[in-house]
Amino acid sequence: MLKIKNFNNSLCKNSVATIGTFDGVHIGHQKIIERLVNTAKKDGLKSVVLTFFPHPRMVLQKDANIKLINTIDERSEILKNLGLDSLFIKTFTQEFSRLTAEEFVVNILVNQLHIKKIIIGYDHHFGRNRAANIDDLKKFGELYNFEVEEISAQDINDVSVSSTKIRAALDAGDILTANSFLGYNFMLKGTVVKGKGLGRTLGFPTANIQVDEDYKLIPKQGVYIVSATHKEQKLFGMMNIGTTPTVSNKSKETIEVHFFDFNQDIYGEEVSIEFLTRIRDEQKFDSVEELKNQINQDKIEALEFLKQHHAK
């Protein structure tokens, strides 16, 4: 079942709002949210983000292959931590997409969000067939008594460039670049499920992570250094994303994490994994012994990295 963390969406009274997908909530987005929150405080208004789920492309183009940097749950959590007063997640449907620009402004912005001001990109389009633009929004503002503040071309360009670069970096396994654009460590959440126990036979027991949201972008296959928090305990470890070709002839991708200095049963628990850096590609070895030797080498490299960067 989808968990959507709408927060405080009943408090939308006299708000300053912005609209967007905000996938990744990266440094470009954070700049816009900071501006929103500061404006709200200065003007005595509530700061509100209006976002959509499912992603409009999933609905309008039936694009089942679209991959997002954040799940809607993750996006909500990050936005909340940025000091936003309210998040309003609008379910995006074919019917919703057919609202005229004025219906959207009146039904959503005026009657539900009670906006006094909207901070929006200079190139923003909205309403049926995205026919209305920021000039139309300014006319509606005069009609329905709200102000329109424009986000510059430079800031909007920074936002779109960052999203593209983050997705490309994750697809290439370049975690350091992705994290630098995100302003935080890329993460994924999932439930620990039973695997085949192969890691244990190799001396490296692993937690198999099942990510429920099929639209979540999973980075390139390979071996990563990761961190997690379990019941307030900070954990570090190695993650393998791939098909474990040395010990399996199946093509199904799995996500397995070996945590250092940790031996608790966490089956059925949800864990949030943060990616710190990538060690290598997944590869097929001629023997299990060779694989074990490589994993030992990976662990040495991981511990050295953590000693330098995280005082492990």
Instruction: State the angle between helix axes of 175-182 and 153-171 in degrees (0 to 180), rounded to the nearest 10.
Output: 150
- What Rg, from alpha-carbon coordinates, does the chain have? 22
- Please classify residue 95 by burial: count the beta carbons closer than 10 Å to its beta carbon, then call 0-12 exposed, 13-18 middle and 19+ buried: exposed
Quote the distance between the C-alpha of residue 251 and its chain's center: 26
Q: Which residues, 6+ apart, have CB-to-CB distance to 162 below 8 Å?
A: 24, 26, 27, 28, 29, 181
pLDDT at 311: 57
- C-alpha distances in Å from residue 49, one per residue of 40, 100, 276, 279: 12, 21, 29, 37
pLDDT tens profile 154-210 = 888 888 888 899 999 999 999 999 999 999 999 999 999 987 666 666 768 889 999
**pLDDT for the residue numbered 205:** 83
Query: In the 8-state DSSP scheme, what is residue 216?
Result: B
Task: Give the residue from 163, 164, 118 showing the smallest Cα distance to 18.
Answer: 118
Segment 27-56, tens digit of pLDDT: 999 999 999 999 999 999 999 999 999 988
**Over pLDDT 90: what percentage of the chain?**
66
User: Which two structure tokens, joined as six digits, stand for 53?
Assistant: 């789920």
pLDDT of res. 173: 97
Question: Among 68, 253, 21, 240, which Cα is nearest to 167's?
Answer: 68
C-alpha distances out from residue 13 to 77, 257, 259, Å = 22, 45, 46
Q: Which two tokens stand for residue 52?
A: 């959509």
pLDDT at 63: 61
Which pair of tokens denotes residue 74? Answer: 């993750």
Bridge partners of residue 3, in order along the sequence? none
Determine the Cα–Cα distance for residues 73 and 127; give it in Å rounded to an integer.
Answer: 26
Neighbours of 235 (CB within 10 A): 19
217 phi and psi angles, rounded to 5 deg: -70, 125
How confident is the prediction along the chain (312 residues), in pLDDT tens digits per residue? 233 445 555 555 789 999 999 999 999 999 999 999 999 999 999 999 999 999 888 888 876 678 999 999 999 999 999 999 999 999 999 999 999 999 999 999 999 999 999 999 988 999 888 899 999 999 999 999 999 999 988 888 888 888 899 999 999 999 999 999 999 999 999 999 987 666 666 768 889 999 999 999 999 999 999 999 888 889 999 999 998 766 666 678 899 999 998 888 888 999 999 999 999 998 888 888 888 899 999 999 999 999 998 754
Alpha-carbon distance 175 to 309, whole Å?
15
**Which among 226, 237, 219 is positioned nearest to 282, based on CA atoms?**
219
